Homo-oligomer: A and B are copies of this chain.
Amino acid sequence: MRSRFAVSSDDFDLAKVDPATTPGINSKTKARQFVTSTGPELREDQTRLYAGRKQSILLVLQGMDGCGKDGVVKHVIDLFYPTSVRVTAFKAPTDEEKQHDFLWRFRPHLPARGNIAVFNRSWYEDVGIAKVHNLVGPEVVEERYGQINAFEAEAAAAGIIVLKCFLHVSYEEQGRRLVDRLTDPSKRWKFDEADLVERACWADYMSAYSTAIRRCNLNPWYVVPADHKWYRDWVIAQLLTETLADLHLEYPERPDLDIEALIKRIN
């Protein structure tokens, strides 16, 4: 699964990935059942990860508005216990944050050992929207690719497993979802007219993200076809279960404990 979606080519281009494709599974029902069925395994591994306090997981969710970042949180991250998972959504940087280097504001939210963090948007906005709207010059964008690679290498060295997922929706599907936000009164609060400005720059975004994915692929990117919500969730659930399974997590031994003596003390 991971090798199927991990970006490996030097000429990667989002334009060549069909957002509506569903390789590996055709049934929405089976996909949803699979996602639910991973719950016990995910929670078990989450508890072992937390008990061991050695590594941590950082799931980065990127993509255009309406690509389903919140949906992944609601349907996949929801499978974890709330105890050691934390979701952070990053909006436009504040005035204070702008006084620092672009990576500064993310550091305090990196997951502590044993924990799972989910970033709804990330430093890829700083080579995404920042590039599309020329918020910084091209030489600054160029520098940032290197700074991002160094930052992610530092995180990896600290035991943080960085999973970067680009949720890839089509222009047409985004349109349907934005219309849905307008027509459904229970979703209308989500609608932000600014999203239409970004929608008008679609091709520029695809180009900027394609470049960012190519240039910052030391921790591989996973590009997830996301026009079908059930497929998107199915892929992410597998990425998480496979990643956690690979760690071969065990509960820590406690040779420090004299169990019999302690039980006597309790009773």
Which residues of A are in contact with B by a Cβ distance under 8 Å?
A: 47, 51-52, 70, 73-74, 77-78, 80-83, 85-87, 118, 175, 178-179, 182-183, 185-186, 188-191, 193, 196, 199, 251-252, 254, 257, 259, 262-263, 265-267
Q: State whether A191 and B266 are in contact (beta carbons under 8 Å apart), knowing that A82-B82, A85-B82 are contacts in the complex.
A: no
Question: Could you tell me the dominant secondary structure of chain A's interface residues?
Answer: helix
Q: Which residues from B are CB-within-8-Å of A189? A: 51-52, 251-252, 254
Asked if B196 contacts A259 (CB within 8 A), the reply is no
Q: Are B86 and A81 in contact (CB under 8 A)?
A: no
Contact A178 B82 (CB under 8 A): no
A179 contacts B267, CB within 8 Å?
yes
**Contact residues in B for A81 (Cβ distance below 8 Å):** 73-74, 78
A262 touches B182 (CB 8 A): yes
Contacts of A178 in B (CB 8 A): 266
- A193 touching B251, Cβ below 8 Å: no
